[in-house]
Amino acid sequence: MNEQANISLLKQAYDAYDKGDIQRLLGLFAQDITWELPEIEGIPFTGKRHGVDQVADFFRVLADSQEPREFKPDQFIGQGDQVVVLGHGTFTVKATGAEYSNDWCHVFRVAGGKIASFKEYDDTHRAAQAYQPQGAGAAAGKAATRPAVH
């Protein structure tokens, strides 16, 4: 596939996700896809997965954990079998009610007309704060800035 075909494939993937059509989205993935988000303590959908079944579970856990308020790819950059997608999103964490926004970068590899790998880069600190129970982050931050008593 050329770069434009790869970009078109990724635009189809984001469209499927935007419409909530996870089955169509999963159909765009290679069976042995690798899927990686930064590991964040307390956020159940982060970390590495392998295979379309584990990625399907990622989308289930993601939907159980947070609600997207906005999730928008802004730019698609293709070179060879790689497509980089830059975008931004705003999410509400279901367990805490906290909302967070961030810019993200998704790096994909396409092989045989299917999405073969995914890796996400984003502001993990903002997400981690939103997933902390209310007050926990503030208390931890204050404890860390208190002077030591001798």
Return the pLDDT at 1: 60
- In tens, the pLDDT along 40-95 reads 999 999 999 999 999 999 999 999 999 999 999 999 999 999 999 999 999 999 99
The neighbour count for residue 59, using CB atoms within 10 Å, is: 16
4-13, 106-115, 141-150: segment of lowest average pLDDT? 141-150
Neighbours of 119 (CB within 10 A): 15
Specify the CATH class of 3-132 in words: alpha beta
pLDDT of 119: 98
Say what the pTM is: 0.86
95-117 mean pLDDT: 97
Buried b or exposed e, range 72-101, using 16+ CB within 10 angstroms:
ebeebebeebebebebebebebeebebebe
The overall average pLDDT reported for the chain is 91
Q: For the chain, which residues make up each domain, given as ranges?
A: 3-132
Mean pLDDT of 111-115: 97
| pLDDT class of 142 with cuts at 50, 70, 90 | very low
pLDDT tens digits along 4-17: 999 999 999 999 99
Does residue 148 register a pLDDT over 50?
Answer: no
